[in-house]
Structure 1
Amino acid sequence: MDWISGIQKAVDYVEDHITEELDYSEIAGQAYSSGFHFQRIFSILCGYTLGDYIRMRRLTLAGSELAATNAKILDIAVKYGYDTQESFSRAFTRFHGVSPSQARSGAGIKAFSRLYVKLTLDGGHMTDYRIVTQEAFPIVCKRIKKPSRKELTNADIAGFWQQCGKDGTIPALCRYLPEENIFGQCIVGASFGKDAGDDKYPYAIGVCYNGEPVSEKDFTIVEIPAHTYAVFPCAGKMPEAFQRLYHRVSSEFFPASEYRPCGGTDFEAYPSPDIDDPGYTCEIWIAVEKK
């Protein structure tokens, strides 16, 4: 399954279950992807987050019901995922520019249309990559404490990196780095697939593990299964360069390549924290299989 058809299948699942409590890992599973990785790609390709899409679609449908039915405002609020009429009214007013009672009285409201993904002619860019076949290996890491069934944004990940940079996590991890490993001396961000515990916490910061006893209580050792990886070098100021590369890989490389993402654990390998350097370099490792 490529990213285009995968996103469409995930969107169809969202629309079919729009009035239910949505599990973000289940949505990602429709595209055979890990939870955070799918949310990241969705955001890069669509220009808004998966959570934003769900909220805007729910508020659109709620507005239509207010205008067309006599259902109680509280009943509509609960139907579309709001615990109270007050929280629904605040969200509704921010989105539509009018209150629910004004919408019921005939005031104009807004509509955010259902997403249909189309493949458009694009490309003409060179994308450097290499294919690496890697045996199983362990990493030692600290997981973000946010379950994969919930929305996980880029702001959550950025905050997690900042926290780990301030609280001593990163230098502590570096003590477990083997002299030789597939990522060199890089710290990695791991977007776990279902083969490495995506049902728990989908993202972690870690390093390849040298086997020394781990004394930190909030560190875990995760065995990464054997995979083939497509590895893409990224250069430029972050996060702009990172987002541009992910967009190109998702919209151009995979549709034209003999490979596709396989839902395994993906990595970003960072050699240093100096991400504001316009010449910064890092790598994206995506677990793949042949189509």
Structure 2
Amino acid sequence: MLERLNQAMDHIEDHLGEPIDVAEPARIAMTSEYHFRRMFSALAGIPLSEYVRRRRLTLAGAEVLAGERTLLDVAVRYGYGSGEAFARAFRAMHGVGPGEARRTGAALHSQPRMSFRLIVEGKSGMRYRVVEKDGFRLVGRGTRVPLVHEGMNPAIVEFVRSIGRETLDSWEAYANGEPEGVLAAVSDHSADDAEGTEIGYFHGVVSDAEVPGASDSLDAEPGTWAVFESSGEFPSAVQYLWRDVYTQWFPSNPYRGRPGPSLSRTRVSEDGTHAEAEVWIPVERVRE
């Protein structure tokens, strides 16, 4: 799988000077466009579209400094319809406009070309199972939050605080299906979403009962789920579980993601130092 992913990266690199149809590198990687975007984002830490933008501006920067083409020619070569649009994008990445960079020989930023390899550290085990489930409904409360790629998301922290610990604890008693307990769900996040993009976020329980204080619901379609479990220091046990799912499990197993909400449940010890984490990801088997 990693070999094919790197072949897909080679294809992207060879076509930076033209519009990139993500369906083609996804085909090379033998996966769906949806899963290719999600897998890239998990492995690289940035959306695919952002990586392509940075690589184009890196190559454009080299051509600006070389001085062999006009600035407009460089802009068109890397997909910008006008010199103004190119100048804005160039300044956003490099901190200086292309004209000034050419005149002064300014130092520019660079996005290195990416390739992937699998590292098996052996420091922690990943427990997983694959289950088939009928459709189910989550009841609770939902909101829209801006996407944050790294660190705590203040909007999510504030949303959970607004529900209140007493309400969340009371919901536990109404949970009557699997996944168990109070769950966090991301319902419509694409791996290609840029930082700040609004995504759906939901907190609730799987239940067919009327749950007090639950004003919203979220439906999950029937299908296959990969369920991952981890335990260890908080918050690293939770953060590393998501990372390991995409950097270790997906490249080593014949599954890819499918559309649907990603679910997680985290139980933190009273002293806040230890966590038990469980993640549910909708998947489908890759047929050779």
TM-score band w.r.t. shorter chain: 0.5 to 0.7
Q: Equivalent residues in 2 for 1:46-125 (5 A)?
A: 46-48=44-46, 50=48, 52-66=50-64, 67=66, 68-72=68-72, 79=80, 87-88=88-89, 90-94=91-95, 99-105=97-103, 107=105, 109-117=108-116, 119-120=117-118, 122=120, 124=122
Q: Relative to total residues, which structure has the larger strand share, 1 or 2?
A: 2
How has the CA–CA distance of structure 1 residues 114 and 185 changed in structure 2, closer, same or farther, with 3 Å as cutoff? same
- Correspondence for 1:134: 133
Q: 2:230 aligns with which of 213, 219, 234?
A: 234
RMSD, aligned α-carbons: 4.8
SS of the equivalent of 1:188 reads: strand
Report SS of the residue matched to 1:179.
coil
**Which amino acid is 2:256 matched to?**
P
Residues 202-221 of structure 1 correspond to what in structure 2 (within 5 A)? 203-207=200-204, 208-210=206-208, 212=210, 220-221=216-217
Cα distance, 1:232–1:84 mapped onto 2, change above 3 Å:
same
Structure 1 equivalent of residue 156 of structure 2: 161
Contact 2:189-2:199 within 8 A present in 1 as well: yes
| Residue aligning to 1:278 | 273
Q: What is the CA deviation profile of residues 152-201 of structure 1, one whole-angstrom value per residue up to 9, with x for unaligned ones? A: 4335982331131233388767777633111222222234489xxxxx97
- Higher RCO (C-alpha 8 Å, min separation 6): 1
Instruction: Give the structure-2-normalised TM-score.
Output: 0.67
**Amino acid paired to 2:94:** T
Contact residue 132 and residue 229 of structure 1 kept, 8 A: yes
* Pairing partner for 2:180 from 173, 177, 184: 184
Shift of the 33–158 alpha-carbon distance from structure 1 to 2, 3 Å rule, reads farther
Paired residues, number: 270
- Deviation (angstroms), 1:130: 2.2
Unaligned stretches of 5+ residues in structure 2: 191-196
Q: Which amino acid aligns with 1:101?
A: G
The counterpart of 2:219, out of the listed 223, 243, 247, is 223
Contact in 2 for aligned 1:137/1:223 (Cα 8 Å): yes
Q: Deviations over 1:223-277 (max 9, x none)?
A: 21112222111223444323322333323333333x4123132533224577992
Match of 2:282 in 1: 287
SS in 1 for 2:208: coil
Shift of 1:136: 0.6
CA distance in 2, matches of 1:168, 1:154: 24
Identity %: 20
